[in-house]
Structure 1
């Protein structure tokens, strides 16, 4: 159950970050005011996902030590890298992929303690 909550917190956080990206992409090049930006559905989706992610994160912290739980959020780097590459068509160099591999290895090592 704890692992499922941790993964859910990661997924919600990543979804929120993706929604943020879509929100700001919609604002690019437009000279609009704050009121227009506040009407962006992507912005509200981002706030919803990040808010739910925070609530799930609090449940995770009730079950795991912060020294174990927090480094597990590094999975966000992995997920966002994959999204950047395949959804937003951003180029990711070899050094970045090596870093992602190290993050995955670290999460696996820490996961064995949980």
Structure 2
């Protein structure tokens, strides 16, 4: 159950980050007031996802040691990199991919401890 909660926290946090990106992209080049920006469904999705992710994260911390749980959130780095590359078509250089591979290796090592 702890691992499912951890995965849920990661996915909600990633969803929040992606929704933030979509929100600011929708504002680019548009002269709008803050009131208009506050009506963005992407902004509200981001706030909901990040808030929900925080609540799930609190449940994770009740069940797992922070020394194990927190490094697992580095999976967000991997997921966001994949989303940046394949959804937003952002270029990712070789060093970045090497970093992703190292993060995956570190998460695998930590996952074996618990």
TM-score for the superposition, normalised by structure 2 = 0.98
Are 1:54 and 2:54 matched, yes or no?
yes
Q: Once the 2 structures are TM-superposed, how far is the Cα of residue 21 of structure 1 from its aligned partner?
A: 0.2
Deviations 1:32-85 (A, max 9, x none): 111000000000000010011001100000001111110100000000000000
Q: Once the 2 structures are TM-superposed, how far is the Cα of residue 113 of structure 1 from its aligned partner?
A: 1.1
TM-score for the superposition, normalised by structure 1 = 0.98
For structure 2, the residue ranges without an aligned partner over 5 or more in a row are none
**Alpha-carbon distance between aligned partners in 1 of 2:112 and 2:3, rounded to the nearest angstrom:** 12
Q: List 4+ stretches of structure 1 deviating above 3 A.
A: none
Where in structure 2 are the equivalents of 1:1-114 lying within 5 Å?
1-114=1-114
**Alpha-carbon distance between aligned partners in 2 of 1:43 and 1:98, rounded to the nearest angstrom:** 32
Q: Once the 2 structures are TM-superposed, how far is the Cα of residue 30 of structure 1 from its aligned partner?
A: 1.1
- How many residues align structurally? 114
Q: Once the 2 structures are TM-superposed, how far is the Cα of residue 86 of structure 1 from its aligned partner?
A: 0.3
Secondary structure of the corresponding residue to residue 56 of structure 1: helix
Give RMSD over aligned pairs.
Answer: 0.5
